[in-house]
Amino acid sequence: MELLTNRAKQVDRRPMDFWERLYLISIFKGMWITLKHFFKKKATINYPEKQRPFSSVFRGLHVLNRDEEGRENCTACGLCALACPAEAITMEAAERLPNEEHLYREEKYAAKYEINMLRCIFCGFCEEACPKDAVYLSQTVTPASYKRENFIYSKEDLLIPHPKKSN
């Protein structure tokens, strides 16, 4: 049989001599490796006191954006849901009523917008697909929870605060 790689090594089948049977050399080699690692800098970060810096391209929680006047940018075009390979985004469109011009930019808006963060793979395709820059992935880490329903974020959970009402 021909080998696919040259990484295979022949097994040494000769009987062990006296020193090999004592395993002293192997024990000292293991102790030496342990001693070398004992004095190295630790890779562990004490989390509550210190926090690890994230990369500039880190993708965290989704956020639905608003314009300067506080109106929602999302027009419920559905491109983010179509671009999502994990099918984590669900939305329902609705027509804007005549007295809701101050809430929504376009005639159509997302009446229901949900993201299942247990399905999301944080690929950023939804952010790239959105023509209105309504959805983006922030630098916030998803908080831990014991319940699955806490990972399904609705539109109210994802919208940034209203810029005029927060002042």
143 assigned ligand-binding residue = no
162 assigned ligand-binding residue = no
122 assigned ligand-binding residue = no
Residue 133's alpha-carbon distances to 60, 79, 114, 124, 161, in angstroms, are 16, 12, 17, 12, 16
State the Cα–Cα distance between residues 117 and 129, nearest whole angstrom.
Answer: 18
130 assigned ligand-binding residue = yes
Residue 108: burial class (beta carbons within 10 Å; 0-12, 13-18, 19+): middle
16 assigned ligand-binding residue = no
74 assigned ligand-binding residue = yes
Residue 1's alpha-carbon distances to 4, 5, 6, 10, in angstroms, are 9, 12, 13, 14
134 assigned ligand-binding residue = no
1 assigned ligand-binding residue = no
List, as residue ranges, the binding site for [4Fe-4S] cluster.
74, 77, 80, 84, 120, 123, 126, 130
List, as residue ranges, the binding site.
74, 77, 80, 84, 120, 123, 126, 130
